[in-house]
Structure 1
Amino acid sequence: MQIFTKARVYDFMKLKIPSVIISAILFFGSIFLLATKGLNYGIDFSGGTLIQLRYDEKAPLDKIRDAFSANEMLKNASVTEFGSDREVVVRFSGSSSDIGTDIGAVAKELLKDTGNVEIRRVDIVGPKVGGELREKALMAILISFGAVLIYIALRFEWRFALAAVISEIHDVVITLGAISLFAIDVNLDTLAAVLTVLGYSLNDTIIIFDRIRESITTSKRNDINGIINESVSATLSRTILTSGSTFIVVFILYMFGGDMINGFSFILMVGVLIGTFSSVYTAFPFLVWLKFSVDEYRAKLGEKAKLKKERERERAMYEKGVV
């Protein structure tokens, strides 16, 4: 399905300076947020206990806090509504080993006078495990960047790889900035969403890179700006359809999926928007500024083709018994 005609070439590179300025504002604004406000680590990464409660009627938050204040471990617990005024989430830094008994049973006993309450779930993560999960999460992101760099450098050229990695760092930092701005809990679901954004954005970028490589061999143009415009224009319908349909699905999940996946779906919404923008406007200006040469690349492709042909000729001679 074609939304835009293939014959028309749009001048995307004309907007490379404004787009990079917008990217820089979002990028450094996100760094500022991460440096000042930081991330709101969930119990997966900070350690502690989460108790989800459900009442038959509106949850009496003040009574819940007063009931918990009688317990030394629970007196500083954070009590907030979760999705509806009948559901409550309680977070605190202790664990069952600190209390010496079942936390769910302790909480239910403390809350017996606050109404008909149901303990829906109890999640416990020790501080040591939380620290290990943080380290592994950071390692997962760094390994992803390293794998991206190696893959694109081998498949395309080092300037493509560097431009792609810059674009990926741009997407991840802005996504983390949105997480910080809206105080979304950073947990394993959040990490999964960030890595999904990384893969989604990379997929978009790789498709356009493939088109650029194809255009270099088929186009009569010698300027990289013109070839980028041709390639982005040729894949524009695919980009709009893919990003649009993905965004609609994720938006529906955000609206109707409930609080359990709200953070995950919100991060994906931000990631789809930022990833699509960076695939079209952020990666390719860096390709130009890194002095990518169409003529040199064509010459390199010619040398590879010549070497491949020579190897095939030698192989054929060997199979015929000619030395």
Structure 2
Amino acid sequence: MRFFANANFDFIGKRVLGYTLSGILLTASLAAIFVRGLQYGIDFRGGSELVVAFGEPVSVIDARTVLSQALGSEPQARLFGSSGELQIRTTDTEVNLLTEQVTRALTAAFPGNSVQVVKTDVIGPVFAQDMQEAAKMATLFSLLVISIYIFIRFRTFIFAVSVLATLIHDMIIIIGLFTLLNGVLPFNMDIDQVLIGAFLTIIGYSLNDTIVVFDRIRENRLIHKEISWVEIVNRSINQTMSRTVVTSLTTFMVVAVLFLFGGAVLKGFSFALMIGIALGTYSTIFISCPMLVDMRKQKQAEMPRKKAEIRSKRVTVRGIEG
């Protein structure tokens, strides 16, 4: 990575572009979430999942149409692993009756093609609600602990606020992307336990990348006391650029291999990780660090006013005492 050995990019000077892009992504993500709603998997809403194996490939659209007529409601149906396997998801929790209905309907619709249910899963609505609440609490608790850790490590609240805002930024965009693309891409993109595990992994990865840059900012602030805060932050990003790019690329390539060859079950998980790695690298450079600059400027701008208020209060108190 000799290209980044003497990097001198003006990231902070272009922070408005980063804010603008993030604003567009956040707006689109929130719009998708509010319009379509969170697409929970059966882990978090209850229901049944069946994997049906066919002797010969079948059309997903034809199978979905047949099942909609047989079950009285349209289930989720998508390819699972190969063109000869179909994953069927429905909110019905009577898995034995569901298995019988699905087998009978598909056998009648595709004569001469063998139909076999090779996997069934069922989760009750009460247990699904408990799992949903536990997942939310785990995510919120991890964000809280991370914020406290950053505050203790760097001894100032602007670092903690910057990290917390960046992590929330990343999570909203990923959830919005999964909500928007659910049913479009040919693999499971429901929000379930697997995806929550991906979220927590992304939080850890993004945090690690951000702390590396923050540590360099703290070091440069102690060494270069004569230069401005903007230059310190910009120099720190450039100095860690080589490490950031190498780590992100190598991790992304490993996860990409998992996405391509890990099977249908891991596609949603690995896809979320790939997006999270790219987004975490972007948000460290264009969100976390620029926020440090802007919050410090705001803090410094408020200091004279606060000092003036304190002096005014002291004068008032002395006048009363006199």
Give the TM-score normalised by the residue count of structure 2: 0.82
Name the CA distance, whole Å, in 2 between partners of 1:47 and 1:261: 21
Asked if structure 2 preserves the Cα contact closer than 8 Å seen for 1:79 and 1:88, the reply is no
Q: Which runs of 4+ in 1 moved over 3 A?
A: 60-70, 101-114, 292-295
Measure how far apart 1:85 and its partner are.
2.9
Where do residues 1-323 of structure 1 align in structure 2 (5 Å cutoff)?
Answer: 2-6=2-6, 8-59=7-58, 62=62, 66=66, 69-70=69-70, 74-78=71-75, 80-83=77-80, 84-96=82-94, 101=96, 103-104=98-99, 107-108=102-103, 111-113=106-108, 114=110, 115-156=113-154, 157-183=156-182, 184-291=189-296
Secondary structure, aligned partner of 2:116: strand
Name the CA distance, whole Å, in 2 between partners of 1:104 and 1:19: 50
Q: Which amino acid aligns with 2:57?
A: K
Q: 1:208 to 1:57 in 2, by over 3 A?
A: same
The number of aligned residues is 288
Name the structure where helix makes up a greater proportion of residues.
Answer: 2
Asked if structure 2 preserves the Cα contact closer than 8 Å seen for 1:254 and 1:261, the reply is yes
Measure how far apart 1:252 and its partner are.
2.3
Q: State the identity as a percent.
A: 34
Which runs of no fewer than 5 residues in structure 2 stay unpaired?
183-188, 301-322
Q: Deviations over 1:74-132 (max 9, x none)?
A: 33251523143311122211213xx7x46545644554544312222101011111111
Q: Which amino acid aligns with 2:9?
A: Y
Asked if structure 1 preserves the Cα contact closer than 8 Å seen for 2:66 and 2:106, the reply is no
Q: Which amino acid aligns with 1:85?
A: S
Measure how far apart 1:235 and its partner are.
0.6
Measure how far apart 1:9 and its partner are.
3.2
Secondary structure, aligned partner of 2:50: strand
Secondary structure, aligned partner of 2:237: helix
Give the TM-score normalised by the residue count of structure 1: 0.81
Measure how far apart 1:229 and its partner are.
1.2
Q: Which amino acid aligns with 1:268?
A: L
Measure how far apart 1:256 and its partner are.
2.8
Secondary structure, aligned partner of 1:291: helix
Q: 1:68 to 1:160 in 2, by over 3 A?
A: closer
Name the CA distance, whole Å, in 1 between partners of 2:197 and 2:285: 24
Asked if structure 1 preserves the Cα contact closer than 8 Å seen for 2:49 and 2:89, the reply is yes
Name the CA distance, whole Å, in 1 between partners of 2:34 and 2:59: 36
Asked if structure 2 preserves the Cα contact closer than 8 Å seen for 1:95 and 1:126, the reply is yes
Q: 1:47 to 1:144 in 2, by over 3 A?
A: same
Measure how far apart 1:2 and its partner are.
5.0
Q: Deviations over 1:129-151 (max 9, x none)?
A: 11111111111111111011100
Q: 1:63 to 1:189 in 2, by over 3 A?
A: closer
